Amino acid sequence: MSDATNVKDLLIRVCVGTGGLAAGSQEVIDEFGRQLGDRGIEAEIVKKCVNKTGCRGFCAKDVLVDIIIGGKSETYQLISTDKVGRIVEEHILKGEPVKEWLVGPEYHSFHDRQTKILLKQCGHIDPEDIQAYLAIGGYEGAKKALSGKPAAVIDEIKSSGLRGRGGAGFPTGLKWEICSKAEGHPKYIICNADEGDPGAFMDRSVIEGNPHSVIEGMIIAGYAIGASYGYVYIRAEYPLAIHRLKIAISDARSRGFLGKNISGSGFDFDIRIKEGAGAFICGEETALIASIEGKRGMPRAKPPFPAHKGLWGKPTVINNVETLANLPAIITNGGKWYASIGTEKSKGTKVFALTGRIKNTGLIEVPMGISLKEIIYDIGGGCEKNRKFKAVQTGGPSGGCIPASHIDMPVDYESLMGVGSMMGSGGMVVMDETTCMVDMSKFFLSFTQSESCGKCVPCRVGTKRMLEILTRITEGKGKEGDIELLLELGTNIKATSLCGLGMSAPNPVLSTVRFFREEYEAHIREGICPASVCKALRRYVVNVEMCKMCGKCFKACPSGAITWEKKKPASIDKGKCIKCGACYEACPFSAIT
């Protein structure tokens, strides 16, 4: 058994971001506690040793565990409770890491190609301990900002070239300037943490992993525009983020970073949390304001913009979590430093939630202007099972689909808009050859349709009609003229809708028709789903050459559509086939296609 000194130097870090928790990290922490306790190491030491950290992004390999002995760190991937015993026995007690469970080269390539500003501390510091944040220079940015004039803070942000990370990419400094000059008192700063895009969890992870960076950002923004009150509008579906944010706000208050006369600057600022009730539309700024005011979350027409007339009719700035979390680093290191990263018009880094049919799913932070190829292949490791990359959806359900032919394009605001997509909040859903583009559009449209607030006609009824047309195409009931009708609907909905949701809802359809029109035509004219996804258009046939005559398909078929005798290849009766796919799943030789 190792001696007491060794145990004191032992640090175990377990990822307890949402991804980690879902993969069972709490059970792993408990197991480490039990195992170390069983071996005579006192429980209080164990408690100190096991350190909770926020998400470090590499969700595909959760649970991730760092074992740090005497400063030497090893990282394990895919750890479950049954593996803990061997790690304790061999690594902690004998000093011999379990090599086959250590992270592989993809862990390093996943992280090495990233540029981390926002996520730098996520996964490394304890988000529930303000001391950990202060130890890495936390709240220095706020102190620096408060020591100068508000106009100087605005100038610094303007020179950084930071643009809103919520989707539209409006220059942050300019937004602040407009609000700071607007007449009205009091003014408000709102942090938009109503992250609702399917597959997106950037804001969630930033708050869960480093909540103080958001609070510090809000202090800086509040000071710049002259607001002494801030709201964090966060969805109630993020309980862990809310829990950590509450701790962070309370700690910041007791340390004097929130409240009256912050750090002796004479500036008063405090923050309140408002939990959203789960409506996607409340991410739209005017709907968000309505929701805080206790009204139904519905957007209103702009102008007037919130910078002039926002919350309670007063000048208000609404910034996204990511935008705000960038501020401490920009103030500390200077706008010029930030502007040196990225492209001419898109500065700094951007966090993306990499999901879909890709090997290394997770959270990544990359410099603006990086190519799609680098993200998908170098960081993401390419598609699962080495399938062919087909397209990537950026910008969430309102974004567009970018085909493989554009893989070399840079990822920045203008380039994405140029191909009919958008930056959005940073969702990136990767599709491979087994994805049906019509089906995919249908998925995103069913989301936007059910989340439409119902206020304006094109969005409420128009997206419903588009969804119905897409549904009939995927059911093999598509008609000539359907594509044209989709285009007409899409164009009109974009042009006449009230808010960003309606204006962008048709994007997935318009972009897939633009790049994958032949797939739509195959569904309608030939009755085929090229990716074999749409159930009604699947046709199962037995490849006689591949068939080993085992009869498994025959036994699996629930509708008696398969004829088979021993030593004879099976065949499928199309009339009886209900296209359930049971034979396809049952065949061990991929003889059914």
Residues that bind other proteins (CB under 8 A): 279, 281, 296, 298, 300-301, 303, 449-458, 460-465, 468, 485, 488, 492, 495-498
- 268 vs 488 by CB, closer to other proteins: 488
Angle (CA) 398 311 223, round 5°: 100
d(CA 540, CA 52): 50
Dihedral angle computed from the Cα positions of residues 137, 56, 192 and 358, in that order, rounded to the nearest 10 degrees: 150
Composition of the chain by helix, strand, coil, percent to 5: 45, 15, 35
Residue whose CB is less far from other proteins, 301 or 566: 301
Output 34 or 460, the one with its CB closest to other proteins. 460
Q: How far is the CB of 499 from other proteins (least distance, A)?
A: 10
Q: Least CB distance from residue 316 to other proteins, whole Å?
A: 18
Strands of 292-378 (E only): list them.
316-320, 349-356, 362-367
Shortest Å, Cβ 295 to other proteins: 9
Query: In this complex, which beta carbon is closest to other proteins, that of residue 28 or of residue 470?
Result: 470
For the chain, how many residues are written? 593
Q: Kindly give the interhelix angle for 239-254 and 211-225, rounded to the nearest 10 degrees.
A: 60
Q: Two tokens at 120?
A: 């730098």
Which 3-state string (H, E, C) describes 88-140? HHHHHHCCCCCHHHECCHHHHHHHHCCCCCCCCCCCCCCCCCHHHHHHCCCCH
**Of 113 and 460, which has the nearer Cβ to other proteins?**
460
Q: Are 509 and 463 in contact (CB under 8 A)?
A: no
E strands, 297-407, are 316-320, 349-356, 362-367, 389-394, 400-403
Question: Shortest gap between Cβ of 414 and other proteins (angstroms)?
Answer: 16
Q: The dihedral of CA 435, 441, 446, 451: what is its sign?
A: positive
Measured from the CB atom, the residue of 151 and 495 that comes closer to other proteins is 495
Rg of the Cα trace of the chain? 27
Q: Per the structure block, which two tokens stand in for 157?
A: 């942000």
Closer to other proteins by CB, 368 or 499: give it: 499
Q: Check whether the bond before 542 is cis (ω within 30° of 0).
A: no
Judging by DSSP bridges, how do beta strands 72-76 and 427-432 pair with one another?
unpaired
Measure the CA–CA gap between 588 and 585, rounded to whole angstroms: 8
Q: 503-512 burial by CB neighbour count: b if 16+ within 10 A, else e?
A: bbbbbbbbbb
Please state the closest distance from residue 491 (CB atom) to other proteins, in A.
9
Q: How many CB atoms lie within 10 A of CB 52?
A: 19
Nearest CB to other proteins, comparing residues 453 and 570: 453
Q: How far is the CB of 524 from other proteins (least distance, A)?
A: 15
The dihedral built from the CA positions of residue 134, 136, 142 and 145, taken in this order, carries a sign that is: positive
CB of 281 to other proteins, least distance (A): 8
Q: How far is the CB of 158 from other proteins (least distance, A)?
A: 25
Closest CA to 157 of 143, 141, 181: 141
Q: Report in angstroms how near the CB of residue 464 gets to other proteins at its nearest.
A: 4
Whichever of 167 and 458 has its CB closer to other proteins, that residue is 458
Q: How far is the CB of 280 from other proteins (least distance, A)?
A: 9
The one-letter amino acid code at 150 reads: P
| Cβ proximity to other proteins, 158 vs 300, nearer residue | 300
